[in-house]
Amino acid sequence: MPIPIIVDCDPGTDDAVALMLALASPELSVLAITVAGGNVGLDLTLSNALALVALAESQVPVHAGADRPLLGRFVSEPRVHGADGLGGIILPAGGPPTPGLAADVIRRILRDAAESVTLVGIGPATNLALALTTEPALAPKVERIVLMSGAWAEGNVTPAAEFNAWSDPEALEILLDTGRPVVFATLELTAQAIVTPARIAAWRGLGNGRCLQVICDIQATVPPSRRLGGAGAPLHDPCAIAWLIRPDLFTTRACSVRMDLGPGPGRGRTLIDRWGRTGDPVNAMVLETVDADGFFNLLGQRLALLP
């Protein structure tokens, strides 16, 4: 039986790959895609999600969600994703969003679900947190929450914090407080999944489908990461989806994770206690390693299945 999931996203050059992977994978049943502002503003993340779903000829409903975090101000990340969120690669416009706001839709799906649903968060966690904090009785209907978020060491948007965690740390704290298992694909994991020109070239050779070629075009626009030595760019968000499909490609560790919610330079930091030093109860599973070649082969194989 495919795993029922909701994908909450902010496309985003790497969200684009994650969405395509989810839509191409028979192991998953994507019930809805919900969208927040993040890498770029909500107007663009929403139109990007709609365009990507249309490109894949998918009928999955796409819902608009939060355009800002629970607290504080909205900040985008155009240095990595370009001013339009997809590196300037222009896609044919998709259809209109499906009526219903993200948090309402997430609650409705959970309420109506016969079996529990996995929530996948690859952007700021605002929509997921709004859904679960306004109807906490739905938490048992959540199988698990799988996030690309956080770092156990250095951040990528501040010295302390990873972009998604920093964008809405209060939302992430709400998810950690639900009592449901939370799985983290952190920056240390995604640093092992580097897109290089050679990997893009290998993907390109796998077929002529427009989704595969567009994803290669988009990935070719992402600047190499200075933080990681300049060989390529980390492909963050697909790691969260790939773990659901091929957990055998990953190693994991059970940890406690707490948020730094203070106003100072540590704000948004995920305090990941990998060595059990705090004695805090375990509330998360951290993905620690990924077989990068296996991961990129999986992606290429699945992208080549799409139109």
Q: Which residue in the shown chain puts its C-beta closest to ligand BDR?
A: 163
Alpha-carbon distances, residue 133 vs 167, 269, 289 (angstroms): 18, 21, 32
Tokens coding 17: 């790959």
77 binds Ca ion (CB under 5 A): no
Which partner, ligand BDR, Ca ion, none, binds residue 77 by CB below 5 to 8 Å per kind? ligand BDR
CA 167 – CA 306 distance, rounded (Å): 32
Name the site residues for ligand BDR (rule: CB under 6 A): 12, 14-15, 39, 77, 80, 122-123, 148, 156, 162-164, 236-237
236 is known as an active-site residue: yes
Q: Using CB under 5 A, which of 8, 13, 15, 36 touches Ca ion?
A: 15
Task: Give 35's strand partners.
Answer: 9, 64
Taking CA atoms, 2 is separated from 25, 89, 182, 206, 214, in Å, by 9, 32, 20, 25, 27
- Does 123 contact Ca ion by CB under 5 A? yes
Instruction: Supply φ then ψ for residue 22, to 5 degrees.
Output: -65, -45
Compare residues 80 and 138 and give the one whose CB is closer to ligand BDR: 80
Q: Are 59 and 31 in contact (CB under 8 A)?
A: no
Among 12, 65, 124, 155, binds Ca ion (CB under 5 A): 12
Nearest to 236 by CA among 304, 287, 285: 287
Of 104 and 162, nearer to ligand BDR (C-beta) is 162
CA dihedral (55, 56, 60, 64) in degrees, to 10, reads -40
Query: Cα–Cα distance between 13 and 28 in angstroms, integer?
Result: 21
| Catalytic residue (one of 141, 236, 269, 302) | 236
> Of 6-14, 149-157, 177-185, 190-198, which segment contacts Ca ion by CB under 5 A?
6-14
Beta carbon nearer to Ca ion, 164 or 192: 164
**122 forms part of the interface with Ca ion (CB under 5 A):** yes
Residue 236 CB, shortest distance to ligand BDR, in Å, is 4
Give residues in contact with Ca ion (CB under 5 A): 10, 12, 15, 122-123, 237
Task: Give catalytic residues, as residue numbers.
Answer: 236
